[in-house]
Chains A and B, each alone.
Chain A
Amino acid sequence: MKTEPRTPYPEPFTMTTDSAIDQLKLSAGDYASNQEVRWCPGCGDYAILAQMKKTMAALGVPRENIVFVSGIGCSSRFPYYMNTYGIHSIHGRAPAIATGLKIMRPELFVWVITGDGDGLSIGGNHLIHAIRRNLDINIVLFNNRIYGLTKGQYSPTSPLAKVTKSSPMGSIDNPLNILSVAVGCEATFVARTVDVNTKHLGMCLERAADHRGTSFIEVYQNCVVFNDGAFDYATDRKLKSDAILELEHGKPMIFGKDRQKGIRLVGMEPEVVTLGEGVSEGDLLVHDEAAKEPSLAYFLSRMHYPDFPEPIGVFRAVDRPKYDELLNRQIDEAVEAQGAGDLDRLLSSGETWTVGQAEP
């Protein structure tokens, strides 16, 4: 390993990505670190990890240009298992760490891995501000509706009346609707997917990777130890076709075993209808992920099983200026307008006086 002195002027880095290693075609296995994975056997996190490695290989991003940042919780162990750069930080703060990193190193491919406790409870503030700033980062929130690492207390997404160790008579905390929060912060990319639905998960990760701006993905993740079966309706082969609505841009919202049900709008309210009984495809709501107003994404985020099928897929994907780009553009504009800073000049600017011999 050789040591290289740094460039003399404090410019943010622009690393070349065409090193020898990049030329190699990497497989999913190349993105695995040498750390033993320590999640409980059967935990949904395994499926997400496997899919993430496949996605990275498919995208062909050099490992050295990828950074995974996480907070605290079961999901936050994720960076240790990826053979990339990574920070396993403190509870809830990953979005803020990612913000500082992305501002200074805009060329890096930055992922935040968080959970429902980490991202929405202790770190809720950072999450909403990262989303509204729209930095070009990807946030994946593993939602298992429980605190796993601390052994089974209710979380901000646990349903009302949920009985846990810390809510023996049932939770009285109204759950947060994650995607409503994201949409409320004007997220430019919002998606939901399910841990074991690997194809769909892979699609969402790739779409998030391609999106310029903050991508926010909620992954339904089964905690086999403390909340097993919380998402059975979304994974069970018999149940899911009626319980899940797969969103597709430009397509009418149809679901059900025989694809005979759909969503129709009555006034401002969605309604489940059966096709054929006086209802045709043309009456159904058509998904538009690029809608300028977030209203559609918002009301989709409010649809919950069993009253409605729960939507998965890309809720919203729009374009908005990115914080890291705007900040670095201001730097360029300042240099253009004022010239590159000269510190000697600055220190001697304004009122000065000379004592003794005047300097040349």
Chain B
Amino acid sequence: MYEIRAKTMTAADGVKPVVDLQAATVRFCGDSGDGMQLAGTQLTNTSALAGNDVATFPDYPAEIRAPRGTKAGVSGFQIHFAADKIFTPGDQVDALVAMNAAALATNLQDLVPHGILIANEDGFGKRDLELAGYQQNPLEDGSLAAYQLHRVGMTRLTREAVKSSGLSTKEADRCRNFFAMGLVFWLYDRSLEPTERFILEKFGRRPAIAEANRTALRAGYNYGITTEAIARRFAVGPADLPPGRYRNITGNLALAWGLMAAAERSGCPLFYGTYPITPASDILHELARRKNFGARTFQAEDEIAAVTSVIGAAFGGAMGVTGTSGPGVSLKSEAIGLAVMTELPMLVINVQRAGPSTGLPTKTEQADLFQTLYGRHGECPLPVLAARSPADCFDVALEAWRIATGYMTPVVILSDAHVANGSEPWRIPKLDELPKIEVTHPGPSDGEPFLPYARDERLSRPWAIPGTPGLMHRIGGLETQDPTGAVSYDPANHERMVKLRGSKIAGIARDIPPQAVEGPQSGALLLLTWGGTYGAAATAVRQLWKEGASVAHAHLRHLNPFPANLGELVKRYRRVLVAELNSGQLRTLVRARFLVDAAGLNKITGRPFAVAEIASAMRLELDQQNVKGRGRMPKVE
């Protein structure tokens, strides 16, 4: 654990002025073999340790090693660090580090006018330019005049710096990302210490490589000090976050730890049955390492075996969880229906990616909401929760398991590629501060016939587990007689059971918090969002507040059932705008359920919303309404 570094200005750097900033956004981009994800992660952790609020957006190609130097192979990592609370990785970047021509060609459009552009001029050879589609070298033809261009021969400088290490040229070139990091760290007045520690941990067993990386890092930093070309540097002070101990966390890690916490708080042993799929596999990787916590992972032969193994584990009394992405959910649908029919508690995680079919496997989308709600045959309702940010995944896992066990039902957790891979600071909770999840199993019985479908006041059935004398019973996919659990073809019983299963899920609305609103409680415009769009939406709303506009924001965690007050809430506004990364799925639901003429802001590019996109859509709505109250400040409650 480290103290927050006070903003320092060392003597050596003192010659160059330091400009204080509220926030900065930096993107590293290069070939997928250039180590850009590592560079981004290091800047993220260093900034978080410096007390900034941070939000990140890793963006990488689907191919593990796309051909070198091509546009298809460009990998990027964007980080937004601030002295304020922030919610998004930023729409545009203040500084862009481009390791080659292809990276510049694919990323330049996101650099702000007059932004800082650090280009590795050694990545702009004839072949690089050809692959990137440049007729002439953009570093030389004046086309970048609108930016603060800094040409740095990073390949050459890195090779020189690590010359004495005895590494081959190829190995030396692999240190290049550390040179880039060093330069950016200097530019934003960041400490080298956390990265040096990381190098020791990661490469400690290969001292020559560790030393070369460290040398490259320092060479980059010193280049900043000595170069004439860069005249100013920047500093972003610590943000005012609630007190506590923090760490940086990605969505998938938060989900994995949330599952472990839910297992511990409920006393149910954790079983994770899954099949590898992007972007969900990191949950498996994390849990597979946690065997000393009793977490049992099962890498099944396919998606169907993954979900059905979870049904078996759940029947045995375990906390059964399966994680996947959209294509896997398609395969699991029949089995999820069985879990609904047998009323067994379990979790299904869908880390959404852009579909349909294989789609864009590494890009984000929110287009599986309809699938989650309606993608099974028969009337097959189940609760659905969506995580709004990386850290929120932890809380959602606990809440989902509370509902699953409280109502004996499978529950779907929706995350997405953006939430799963992105990261943000997380205030670390104490385990015993987390809500306890009460799970009970009926004990042995001697005589009275056991009724597996007898229901309590929530319409939930008992979770009787094998090994309990006297409670032997059979469950299955055939319609069951209420409450004996025997197979029944009786038409009236079927209708009754369909309604009972439906009412049970609908009744969960009484057990979840009413929907909260940020901003005015009624008025001109309500922005309605769900899942990973939270950050962009919350930031956009705050921008409009600053402009004096009357807008409110409601962000849904519970997609089924909806919070009980949602229907009444949406009717309090003259207009509801639903922003989502699909063609209007939540919007269709809201219109159908509540008969409101909701408008939609939709995007299906595989990329998250930019703040500006949501902000301008809201401005347009308000203009169209010609709302007189646009000058009023919102009443924040």
Contact = CB atoms under 8 A, between A and B. Distances in A.
B312 A97 contact: yes
Contacts of A22: 469
Given A100-B309, A101-B315, A353-B4, A341 B270 contact: no
B200 to A, nearest CB: 13
B247 interface: yes
Given A35-B487, A87-B475, A354-B245, A348 B466 contact: no
A96 B305 contact: yes
B310 to A, nearest CB: 6
Interface string A333-360: 1110111110110111011111111010
Contact of B472 (A83, A330, A331, A335): A83
Interface string B421-439: 0000000111100000011
B51 A353 contact: yes
Given A86-B475, A353-B51, A105 B469 contact: no
Main secondary structure of the interface of A (DSSP, over half): mixed
Contacts of A328: 296
Contact of B443 (A3, A107, A338): A3
A150 interface: no
Interface residues of A, number: 82
Interface stretch (B126-134, B257-265, B528-536, B566-574): B257-265
Contact of A100 (B4, B301, B311): B311
Contacts, number: 285
B244 interface: yes
A108 B317 CA distance: 12
Q: Which of A79, A86, A101 has the most CB of B within 10 A?
A: A101
A303 B505 CA distance: 55
A352 B429 CA distance: 13
Interface in A2-22: 2-13, 15, 19-22
Contact of B293 (A85, A108, A341): A341
B267 interface: yes
B54 to A, nearest CB: 12
A233 to B, nearest CB: 35
A69 B475 CA distance: 10
Q: Which of A63, A82, A337, A347 has the most CB of B within 10 A?
A: A347
Given A2-B443, A87-B475, A97-B311, A352 B335 contact: no
B291 A331 contact: yes
Contacts of A322: none
B268 A1 contact: no
A101 B313 contact: yes
A4 B443 CA distance: 6
Nearest to B290: A341
Given A4-B443, A6-B439, A100 B244 contact: no
Given A63-B472, A346-B257, A347-B428, A93 B335 contact: yes
Contact of A105 (B273, B294, B306, B316): B316
- Which bracket fits the contact residues of B? 35 or more
Given A4-B440, A347-B257, A354-B1, A90 B474 contact: no
A238 interface: no
Given A104-B318, A351-B194, A89 B305 contact: no
Given A1-B448, A6-B441, A359-B245, A64 B312 contact: no
Contacts of A241: none
B157 interface: no
Given A354-B245, A355-B246, A21 B309 contact: no
Interface in A307-335: 327-328, 330-331, 333-335
Q: Which of A65, A89, A338 has the most CB of B within 10 A?
A: A89
Contacts of B431: 343-344, 347
Given A10-B264, A88-B476, A343-B260, A356 B305 contact: no
A10 B319 contact: yes
Contact of A339 (B45, B266, B292, B337): B292
A3 B462 CA distance: 10
B240 to A, nearest CB: 8
A54 B25 CA distance: 73
A98 interface: yes
Nearest to A109: B466
B292 A335 contact: yes
Interface string B62-87: 00000000000000000000000000
Report the 10 A-B pairs with minimum CB-CB distance, sorted nearest first. Answer: A356-B243, A88-B476, A341-B293, A100-B309, A100-B312, A15-B467, A101-B312, A334-B291, A96-B305, A97-B312
Interface of A: 1-13, 15, 19-22, 33, 35, 62-69, 72, 79-80, 82-90, 93, 96-105, 107-108, 125-126, 129, 327-328, 330-331, 333-335, 337-341, 343-344, 346-348, 350-357, 359
